[in-house]
Chain A
Amino acid sequence: MVIETDILNFWDWLAVGSDERAPALLQFVVTIVVLALVGLLFGFLIAAVRHGPIAAGDLVYRVLRRAAGELFRISPRRVWALARLSVKESLRKSVLASLIVFGVLLVFAPWFLGSESREPVKLYLSFVMTASMYLTLLIALLLSTFSLPADIKSKTIYTVVTKPVGAHEIVLGRILGFTIIGTVLLAIMGAGGYVFVIRSLRHTHTIAVADLAEAKASGVQRGLSSRDMGHRHEATVDKDGHVDVQSAIGHWHDVAGEPENGAYVTSSPADMYRARVPIYGKLRFKDRNGADKDRGVSVGNEWGYRSYIDGGTSATAIWTFDSLREEEYPDGLPLELSLRVFRTYKGDIERGILGSLVVVNPTTGLRSDIRTFRAQDFHIDEQTIPRKLPRRRQDMKPGLSEELDLFDDLVDEEGRVEIWIQCVEPAQYFGAAQADCYIRTRDGLFWVNYWKGLSGTWAQMVLIVCFGVMFSTFLSGPVALFATAGCFILGTFRDFIIKVATGGIEGGGPVEAMIRTFTQQNMTSELEAGGANALIETLDSPLKALMHGLVYVLPDFSSYSQVNWVAYGYNIPWNLIAQNLMAGFAYLLGAFIAGYLFLRSGEVAK
């Protein structure tokens, strides 16, 4: 439910690409070229309006010729001086006040977050991470877009550009300076948020001895813990006085020692913060008649990536896992399911929809008996497949079954095994995606994962700074702010926009229809132009490429947000972080070049 698209490994992502997206490297080159072209075009247009096209052409030519030499002359000392200046400027604007805002948010957060949530970890983590994200991005936006215009307005820029400072160094210094400020802010908010979550959710329960009831004949006592933070745990006390607290809402507690004042006191929550490391299988489907197919039934409320299987029929979602070795899973397969549930009638919401799970050997076709589970939307169901599984053969008497060994009988020679999942209740559906069923291996470190998650926010912040500074080289502060914010919003929906533009969305929404009509008109008018056809086409095609390029070059901001990964407790692969940082770097380069061209092709003193 967190991972909506496939994550390619780094090199495939960078250089090979997949069916759905071009290799990142290509995209970066296009990005940088388009940004540079926009820079030049803009410089040309402004100059053409003011001095006529010939002078403008001359200007662009000179800027280009000079760019080749200048862009590579970067003095670290100069850039650092400019970066320090930006840092001092930011501090003077008292950006640290944003920390106070964050602090106040944290102080009041418990009021509106409440403590009764069924998934407090998810709630608190997403709150803290989202709050620090928006605050950091807002500060980055304000700082980066207003700084350069203010310098130009107050003419302090005169004393800077009359030093041997390249326009590119001015751009780079600013980006660096604001990145430093943003990083420090984010780090402080991140650390504060972390402490806040851990401290807010720390709790203990008491288990009153008087409330424990003897279970029949076993000598084991059962009971419920006290209600703290809106939940209780079931607890058992065996004959030796050993207390076992059951897991509830994603955590459990230890109890050490004897009861005090007639009650056991539990430890702080354990296993509350997770960074699951899932191993994914390959997903295929069988339709309602049991025939093989690629996808389930689309119910139209999800992207094509997730398909639905209908309940009460032979429709099945089959995950195939491979390279399983007995040594790694001596106690069985720790499977986790997070199926989406689509109800055509409401039923009992609390209970979840009944599903069945069968373990199948892909080579011999040997099947275990059906195991049932109840699936709830947005809920992770832990289903450990034990080593010994029962199987009832047709010829066996009722009540008897033989025992299969997971690794000896169900995992084949190559280490493959299939998990078949069906929805049992008729007229209800399960939504299944590749990432919805996985084997959970040893967890990663939660705090590492938390910071990994913030690294996505960090990359977003750097991108905002890059775009903000780039726009501020030729726009006034408020306009640059709107442009940058616009890029952020468009970039957040980038994939969607590209899909609409290229007709990649099935069924087609109103937007696509509009775009289609629009392009159709363009095509016909081109044909009607007759003789001038060729000329128009040659003029038009680079423009069209540019238009498409503009959307194409926007960073996919949504892919940088890893708040959900952390909040839902999934380990973020380093691979993904490397991809984000790499993409961030590409945009940095693009903004750097475009910013240079913008600054260089206009007069500083206007």
Chain B
Amino acid sequence: MASDVVIETRALSKTYRDFWGRAKVRALKSLDLEIRQGEIFGLLGPNGSGKTTTMKLLLGLLFPTSGQALVFGRDASDVRKNERIGYLPEETYLYKFLTAEETLDFYGRLFDIPPQTRKERIDQLISEVGLDWARRRQLKEYSKGMTRRIGIAQARINDPDLILLDELNSGLDPIGVREMKDMILALKEAGKTVVMCSHLLADVQDICDRIAILHQGELKELGRVESLLRVADETQFRVRGMSQACQDEVQAVIARHEHELVEMTNPVSTLEDLFLSIVRDSEARPGRRARVETAEQSESVN
């Protein structure tokens, strides 16, 4: 169904030029994309591969050198499409002299949101991004991650149907990253479309439905995450409390079938899990100091 298509690019190309019109960088080469409603779409690629350029073209911040970008069926340079879009730029470009509240209020007004609704949404978003305690402070006093959070709130002020997140997780702590993952999934639940680019491949893998990989402005890979990542010729077990005898036996079975055993180890928990459990613990029992394990200390205790 055509109305499902939220973003469509046709042979979208962008060549950056200097002032005199001499071509400098071919940042995007003939990109064809179609992103549908309700998808979480990941744009991946090394630095300088054209991810940000693509987003700017979709938003009409840049004009394509050739080709076309359509958002909600409108040309990217049409302002009216912005009604339903939320955008978080690569770095958070906000007015430093406004407070968190004023920032959201300002952007809310730009969407012509009536006062009552605006106030409710501001309260809701500020607490969602966890900045209740700093809502009356000017952004120039904010840390990078805090600014990022208010940037995200800003991108959602209009309850957008399509949200474009450029390097969503940059500057965020692991809790933030986690919360953002949850937020994105919640957005998907609500039927919104999310386009994000990120270098944290694990996160992309966890939440994206489809990804596109760009390299030097060219589309190298496009498809559903599961099918792209499934390794069809390997099989993985996870067993709790497996005895040495059992392990030997399994190895023997594999050897008998003349399969190659690639790896059999105990899994290591991720640092993310450790970090999250420590922070949750300290939130539950505030004031407790961490137990520092140093050789010196263990001696004195003994």
Contact = CB atoms under 8 A, between A and B. Distances in A.
Contact of A78 (B17, B95, B112, B158): B112
B154 interface: yes
Nearest to A157: B93
Interface in B18-52: 19-21
A163 B107 contact: yes
Nearest to A601: B63
Given A70-B79, A159-B94, A164 B20 contact: no
Interface stretch (A85-93, A105-113, A330-338): A85-93
Contacts of B102: 88
A50 interface: yes
B158 to A, nearest CB: 8
Contacts of A589: none
A66 B75 CA distance: 12
Contact of B95 (A51, A156, A164): A156
Q: Is the interface of B mostly helix, strand, loop or mixed?
A: loop
A164 B154 CA distance: 14
B170 to A, nearest CB: 15
A162 interface: yes
Contacts of A351: none
Given A50-B17, A88-B97, A92-B97, A164 B110 contact: yes
Contacts of A92: 97
B111 A51 contact: no
B89 A155 contact: yes
Output the residue of A80, A157, A162, A165 with the most chain B CB within 10 A. A162
A159 B95 CA distance: 10
Interface string A72-101: 000101101110110011001000000000
B21 A605 contact: no
Contacts of B65: 51
A78 B281 CA distance: 45
B59 A81 contact: no
Nearest to A75: B112
A89 B83 CA distance: 26
A166 B61 contact: no
Contacts of A344: none
B275 interface: no
A160 interface: yes
B61 A161 contact: yes
A164 B93 contact: no
Contact of A163 (B77, B94, B95, B111): B111
A604 interface: yes
A164 B79 contact: yes
B87 A162 contact: yes
A62 interface: yes
A51 B17 CA distance: 9
A163 B97 contact: no
A62 B112 contact: no
A49 interface: yes
Interface residues of A, number: 35
A605 B21 CA distance: 16
Most buried by B among A77, A603, A604: A77
Secondary structure type dominating chain A contacts: helix
A174 B82 CA distance: 21
Contacts of B158: 163
Given A89-B97, A154-B93, A156-B94, A162 B85 contact: yes
A165 B89 contact: no
B155 to A, nearest CB: 9
Interface in B52-67: 56, 59-63, 65
A14 B112 CA distance: 37
Contacts of A81: 106, 109-110
A80 B56 CA distance: 27
Contacts of B59: 162
A158 interface: yes
A604 B106 CA distance: 20
Nearest to B89: A158
Contacts of A157: 93
Contacts of B109: 77-78, 80-81
B98 interface: yes
A158 B93 contact: yes
A155 B89 CA distance: 10
Interface string A134-174: 00000000000000000000111111111111100000000
Interface in A158-211: 158-166
Interface in B189-245: none
A159 B77 contact: no
A159 B112 contact: no
A603 B82 contact: no
Given A51-B65, A77-B112, A88-B97, A162 B106 contact: no
Most B C-beta atoms less than 10 A away, residue of A49, A85, A166: A85
B80 interface: yes
A441 to B, nearest CB: 51
Contacts of A164: 79-80, 82-83, 110-112
Interface of B: 17, 19-21, 56, 59-63, 65, 77-80, 82-83, 85, 87, 89, 91, 93-95, 97-98, 102, 106-107, 109-112, 154, 158
Across chains A and B, which 8 residue pairs bring their CB atoms closest together, nearest first?
Answer: A81-B109, A163-B110, A605-B61, A50-B21, A155-B93, A164-B82, A92-B97, A162-B87
19 contacts: A50-B19, A59-B63, A66-B77, A77-B112, A78-B112, A81-B106, A81-B109, A82-B110, A88-B97, A88-B98, A154-B93, A155-B91, A155-B93, A158-B93, A159-B87, A164-B82, A165-B82, A165-B110, A166-B79
Interface of A: 49-52, 59, 62, 66, 70, 75, 77-78, 80-82, 84-85, 88-89, 92, 154-166, 603-605
Given A85-B98, A158-B93, 8 more contacts: A66-B77, A77-B112, A85-B106, A88-B97, A88-B98, A158-B61, A159-B89, A163-B82
